[in-house]
Amino acid sequence: MRTIEWDDGVVRMIDQRQLPQEYVIVQFTDYREVARAIKEMYIRGAPAIGAAAAFGLALCARGSVAKTRAEVLADLEEAAATLHKTRPTAVNLSWALERMLEQARKAQHTQVEQIVHALVAEAQRIADEDVEVNQRMAANGAELIEDGYNVLTHCNTGALATVDYGTALGVIRTAHEQGKRLHVWVDETRPRLQGARLTAWELMRYDIPMTLIADNAAGHLMRTGQVDLVLVGADRVAANGDVANKIGTYKLAVLARENGIPFYSVCPTSTIDLSLPSGEQITIEERDSTEVTHIGEVGIAPEGVPVFNPAFDVTPHRYVTGIVTEEGIIYPPFAPGLRRAKGATS
């Protein structure tokens, strides 16, 4: 199945917290449950979160007891506010919610039933478009991978981070399907280990050669000439090309620059936020301390230790070689190219 899908009033998704030990499908019928699933990372990855938020609003509309258009719109605004609070860094979440609300507000939808039908259809369009966008993006990015390349990636950017196929990992997958010989270095990605748990699982399913490494081994591999290309995803890209992504990305970008290795972010144009002049304005989510002090249920730090646990960091655009989108690869200066890419999809 897809990472997330709609099934006659039920939202079904893979519970990614259980991977790789178990492949578990969970079902939700209330938007509050979807909000909890996003917050607790049953589902993660900017494009997947956007689709989940859209399906959450569809559930709200379908379950509303409102009798009038005004009442159902009020219910949807309340649900959107709840969903928006779950993960503040990923712009796809707010993008999908606003797209759904715009659909609900259209003047031709005068009856509650019309709004419900329109939102279910719009959420499904968002999900279907994500798959098509990922495949276009992957085809563009695959041109960067030459035969025999060693590619380093961070976090999880595959089908599990999207509705299906993937962003940075989708590029790798396409290059592999084209017959290119390649090998992937997989950062474990502390503290939630999305690389170790999810990326390794996906690559092994695709039979793509890979090796799992501790995050702090990446610099050694770069210095010793064992990395040809770094590919990462993005949760938000500012108007100047600054990239917010999983914590640890900035460190990789600096190391890549120091060692003369190309560093690319791969993301759909829905992840580009032209309203923010730079990455300085991006809200960085901070998560619970237990993600750092524990691995699963096992404590690895002294009880009561102070913890700082940012989920993301911002990579200044000067460290970014290019940004791969479904509209093509954007190179510096980023601002004009990002505007053109967004314009092509508006």
Tens of pLDDT along the chain (346 residues)?
Answer: 699 999 999 999 999 999 999 999 999 999 999 999 999 999 998 899 999 999 999 999 999 888 899 999 999 999 999 999 998 887 889 999 999 999 999 878 878 889 999 999 999 999 999 999 999 999 999 999 999 999 999 999 999 999 999 999 999 999 999 999 999 999 999 999 999 999 999 999 999 999 999 999 999 999 999 999 999 999 999 999 999 999 999 999 999 999 999 999 999 999 999 999 999 999 999 999 999 999 988 999 999 999 999 999 999 999 999 999 999 999 999 999 999 999 876 5
* Identified catalytic residue from 164, 187, 228, 235: 235
Domains of the chain: 4-135 (1.20.120.420), 139-345 (3.40.50.10470)
State the Cα angle at 264 between 48 and 238, rounded to 5°.
65
Q: Which residues contact 108 (CB under 8 A, 6 or more apart)?
A: 114
Amino acid at 236: R
- For residues 61 and 97, give the distance between their C-alpha atoms in angstroms, rounded to a whole number: 13
Q: Is 288 helix (H, G, I), strand (E, B) or coil?
A: coil
Reply yes or no on whether 75 is catalytic: no
State the alpha helices, DSSP H only, in 143-238. Answer: 168-177, 194, 200-206, 218-223
Say how far residue 90 (Cα) sits from the centre of its chain: 7
Confidence at residue 108, expressed as pLDDT on a 0 to 100 scale: 83
Confidence at residue 345, expressed as pLDDT on a 0 to 100 scale: 65
Confidence at residue 310, expressed as pLDDT on a 0 to 100 scale: 97
For residues 291, 292, 294, 295, the Cα torsion angle rounded to the nearest 10 degrees is 80
268: cis peptide before it, omega within 30°? no
Three-state secondary structure of 230-241:
EEECCCEEECCC
- Judge whether 74 and 61 are in contact, CB under 8 Å: no
Q: Which residue has the tokens 């796809």?
A: 92
Q: Which helix (H) or strand (E) holds 12?
A: strand 11-14
pTM over 0.75: yes
Backbone angles phi, psi at 155, to 5 degrees: 60, -150
Q: Is 233 helix (H, G, I), strand (E, B) or coil?
A: coil
